Amino acid sequence: MEDDELHFMQDMLAGTELLMCSACGEETLHAHEEVLDVSPVATELKMQCTCCQTTRTWTDWTPPHQRIQLN
């Protein structure tokens, strides 16, 4: 795999979370679709199930300033 392909795949995986899907009834990968709100303690995101394409909200409780330092 080429370096640019590997970086692309890593970026794609970094934008997903393994979440319970109410439509599928199981844990599936959900892709970050939209940032709904950013507060000092959390970020609320709109997530889309990669299996059935339904959307849901998800709160990432990692403070935004710490998330930047981790990446």
Q: Is pTM, for the whole model, over 0.85?
A: no
Query: Considering only CA atoms, which of 61, 55, 5 is closest in space to residue 32?
Result: 55
The amino acid present at 12, given as its one-letter code, is M
Best CATH choice for the domain 3-70 from the list 2.102.10, 3.10.110, 2.30.30, 3.30.310: 2.30.30
Instruction: Tell me the C-alpha distance between 39 and 42, whole Å.
Output: 5
pLDDT tens track of the chain, all 71 residues?
688 888 878 887 888 889 999 999 999 999 999 999 999 999 999 999 999 999 999 999 988 876 555 45
Instruction: Tell me the C-alpha distance between 59 and 62, whole Å.
Output: 9
